[in-house]
Amino acid sequence: MSETIFPWFQPIIEVASGKIAGFEALARRRGASGDVESAADIFRNPARSAQERLDVDRSVRYQALQKFSTLEGSQFLSLNLSPEWIDNLQGSDDQPTLSMIEELGLDPRRVVLEITEQNGSIEQIQRQASRYRAAGIGIAYDDFGTGFQQLDRVLAFTPNLIKLDLQMFHNGACSAHKDAILQMVGQMGTQLGSKIVCEGVETADDFYLALQCNASFVQGYAFAPAQPEFAEADSTRAQVRKLLNSHLDMTVEHTARAQWQEKSLHSSLLALRDLLVTGKGDAALQNYHPSPGIQRLYICNREGDQTSPNYYFLDGAWQADSSVIGNNWSWRPYFYQLLGSTDYQSRILRSSPYLDIGTGQRCVTLSLALDNNRVLLVDVSAPKQFGGSDACHSELMPRMNGAA
């Protein structure tokens, strides 16, 4: 190969500290104009033989490790490793990366191998990943979300890091759907014990998206492109602190506004509860004009069976859909958690936000006791939850009018 391929290093920033925690080694070359450009296409070019691509890959990997071996401190180096190369490993002693690390005197705990989403034997990936991890090397799953052959791979070797490219959310994704997927990835990482790395962070809004999926690390042009030298660990602290302060201001304001709206809604629901306790069905509702956010309401018995129609307010009048009577909702957390509360009569419980299938709107369901035998459930439009997921929670309500 006539051209020279060499590594540059893009910082990976830890959100909590604001420091550069590590670097990803990226292949670079000189373009026709003499400018440095990405050489990533080499590894996807079918015109080049597999052996040629493997030789380039290992050369860049060795150069990166060699340069990194001169960097003191606790930062880590992240290297891309294709399953294609893993499949080419033959014997149990065929561990080129481990040999490089040992030769250069590097602490393997400061190295992370990123396994990308390409063809490759899951069994071989799992076997080699276990050997790398046994040697102290961290494992990252790269480009999560770009295909559909991924959950089996995540389960196969449970990576230390899951890398999510935020650029995939810039192509016309519905805001509610985007939020749901980001929160899902964040929750999955928490449950698996894997930290989330959001790459492709190019703007402040991208950074806030990363926080929304509980990212531990961020990477992208908003902080620094790949560079020939290692950036100072503290060089990003001030920028991250400024972004976190802005995020805190926005989330506090959003939370205060949401709580004010929720108190108003709860007052409306208390009035509704009084009407339903003293009256019956349609007749009781004729004297109640709901808050704008209320979409529908219905009543269940303590077994979770729906005993009333779905009531919804349309064109200034209450409408009823009786087709749902008999449905059972006992398996929903906002139902059984209410029944399990020791203060059942004085508690209102709110579900996690969800996207209503019928209306396409973001909703929550509120549940509260009407009496010892009946539970009122109310579906309410929910504002966008800025900056993170919203867990199911409950709070105490005032006593009913006339209660001792």
> pLDDT tens-digit profile of 339-354?
998 888 888 898 888 8
- Spatial CB neighbours of 106, under 8 Å, sequence gap ≥ 6: 65, 68, 69
Q: Would you say residue 314 lies in a domain?
A: yes
Q: What mean pLDDT do residues 201-214 have?
A: 92
> Please, are residues 339 and 377 in contact by the beta-carbon 8 Å criterion?
no
Q: Would you say residue 297 lies in a domain?
A: yes
Q: What percent of the chain has pLDDT over 90?
A: 48
Say whether both 254 and 201 belong to one domain. no
- Spatial CB neighbours of 155, under 8 Å, sequence gap ≥ 6: none
User: At 248, which amino acid appears?
Assistant: L
Output the CA torsion sign for 371, 372, 374, 380: positive
Euclidean distance between CA atoms 364 and 315, whole angstroms? 23
Euclidean distance between CA atoms 128 and 319, whole angstroms? 62
Residue 84: both structure tokens together: 């294609």
Say whether both 145 and 280 belong to one domain. no
- Reported confidence tier of residue 119, pLDDT bands at 50, 70, 90: low
Total residue length of the chain: 404
Residue 193: both structure tokens together: 């014990």
Say whether both 203 and 254 belong to one domain. no
The Cβ-side half-sphere exposure at 207, using a 13 Å CA radius, reads: 23
pLDDT at 84: 65
pLDDT at 86: 67
The domain tally of the chain equals 2
- Spatial CB neighbours of 244, under 8 Å, sequence gap ≥ 6: 15, 18
Residue 148 clears pLDDT 50, i.e. is over it: no
Comparing 79-88, 142-151, 166-175, 259-268, the range with the smallest average pLDDT is 142-151
Residue 269: both structure tokens together: 């629901």
Chain segment 297-328, per-residue pLDDT in tens? 999 999 999 999 999 998 889 999 999 999 99
Say whether both 44 and 185 belong to one domain. yes
Say whether both 183 and 268 belong to one domain. no
| H runs (alpha helix) in 312-400 | 333-339
Q: Would you say residue 360 lies in a domain?
A: yes
- Spatial CB neighbours of 224, under 8 Å, sequence gap ≥ 6: 10, 11, 231, 235, 236
Euclidean distance between CA atoms 357 and 369, whole angstroms? 26
Chain segment 293-305, per-residue pLDDT in tens? 899 999 999 999 9
pLDDT at 152: 66
Checking phi first, is residue 352 left (phi over 0); if not, alpha (psi -120 to 50) or beta?
beta
Chain segment 71-115, per-residue pLDDT in tens? 999 999 999 886 666 666 655 556 889 999 999 999 999 999 998
Residue 234 clears pLDDT 50, i.e. is over it: yes
| H runs (alpha helix) in 313-384 | 333-339
Q: Would you say residue 349 lies in a domain?
A: yes
> Please, are residues 209 and 186 in contact by the beta-carbon 8 Å criterion?
no
Say whether both 194 and 325 belong to one domain. no
Q: Would you say residue 183 lies in a domain?
A: yes
Chain segment 9-48, per-residue pLDDT in tens? 999 999 999 999 999 999 999 988 889 999 988 887 878 8
Q: Would you say residue 230 lies in a domain?
A: no
Class of residue 7 by CB neighbours under 10 A (exposed 0-12, middle 13-18, buried 19+):
buried
Pairing of strands 76-81, 36-38: unpaired
CATH of the domain at 11: 3.20.20.450
What is the pTM assigned to this prediction? 0.81
pLDDT at 173: 55
pLDDT at 168: 80
Of 99, 98, 95, 100, nearest in space to 85 by CA: 95
Say whether both 78 and 146 belong to one domain. yes
Per-residue buried b or exposed e for 33-68, using 16+ beta carbons within 10 Å of the residue's own CB: eeeeeebeebbeeeebeeeebbebbebbbbebbebb
CA angle 398, 383, 346 (to 5 degrees): 15
Long-range CB pairs of 171-179, under 8 A, 24+ apart, other chains included: 175/384, 176/355, 176/360, 176/362, 176/384, 177/355, 178/209, 179/212, 179/384, 179/385
Euclidean distance between CA atoms 170 and 1, whole angstroms? 37
- Reported confidence tier of residue 120, pLDDT bands at 50, 70, 90: low
Q: Mean pLDDT score of the chain, rounded to an integer?
A: 85
pLDDT at 385: 55
Q: Which residue has the tokens 């504002």?
A: 383
- Reported confidence tier of residue 286, pLDDT bands at 50, 70, 90: confident
Q: Would you say residue 232 lies in a domain?
A: no
pLDDT at 248: 94
Domain enclosing residue 387, as ranges: 249-396
Comparing 144-153, 171-180, 256-265, 273-282, the range with the smallest average pLDDT is 144-153
Say whether both 206 and 92 belong to one domain. yes
Class of residue 108 by CB neighbours under 10 A (exposed 0-12, middle 13-18, buried 19+):
middle
pLDDT at 47: 81
Residue 390 clears pLDDT 70, i.e. is over it: no
Q: What mean pLDDT do residues 263-280 have?
A: 85
CATH of the domain at 378: 3.30.450.20
Q: What percent of the chain has pLDDT over 70?
A: 84
Pairing of strands 111-115, 138-144: parallel
pLDDT at 241: 97
Strands (E), 188-316: 195-199, 217-219, 294-301, 310-314
- Reported confidence tier of residue 117, pLDDT bands at 50, 70, 90: low
What is the distance, to the nearest Å, from the Cα of residue 328 to the centroid of all Cα atoms in its chain? Answer: 31
